[in-house]
Amino acid sequence: MRLGTWHIVPLLLALFTAGCAERAPAPSSPEVRTPPASQSRFSQQGKASFYARMHHGQRTASGELHDQNAMVAAHRSLPFGTHIRVTNLRNNKQVTVRINDRGPFVRGRIIDLSRAAAERIGMIDQGVARVRIETLE
């Protein structure tokens, strides 16, 4: 039986989309370090930044709306809901925040804080600060 062009197009389309479904997910960035499940404490040092005002009210990766007045933050790999202590290494001020978003996606930065959390540790004027983050039990 001879197939016409109109028979081949749906067949090719079906084969193409089936091949796409089998594709493996892209490997994650080497900078992202997921803490092992057995590890009860996680500590990291690096640069922190904070959300611009324009993000207030925008949906986060966890589904919540970002509240610049809440003690929340974005981290690339820590589970949503994780509470962490952030210490500004310049002045030793600390704040406890809850992870509810993913980021920051700027090389060299390890956490993005809400505006209120950034104010609490005294980093608003600098915009970026060296910090240590530690998970809390």
User: To which residue do tokens 């980021």 refer?
Assistant: 103
User: To which residue do tokens 């090719």 refer?
Assistant: 12
| Three-class DSSP category at 97 | strand
H-type alpha helices, 1-98: 5-21
Q: For 13-49, write each residue's pLDDT tens digit.
A: 454 444 433 333 333 433 444 454 445 689 999 999 9
Q: For 86-96, write each residue's pLDDT tens digit.
A: 999 999 999 99
What is the Cα–Cα distance from 136 to 41, expressed in whole angstroms? 7
Its pTM stands at: 0.71
Looking at residue 39, what is its pLDDT? Answer: 53
Under 8 Å between Cβ of 78 and 35: yes
Under 8 Å between Cβ of 88 and 28: no
Q: For 79-120, write each residue's pLDDT tens digit.
A: 999 999 999 999 999 999 999 999 999 999 999 999 999 999
Dihedral (Cα; 62, 97, 89, 102), 10-degree rounding = 0
Q: Work out the angle at residue 18's Cα, subtended by the Cα atoms of residues 13 and 22, and round it to the nearest 5 degrees.
A: 150
What is the Cα–Cα distance from 40 to 28, expressed in whole angstroms? 23
In whole angstroms, how large is the CA radius of gyration of the chain?
Answer: 22
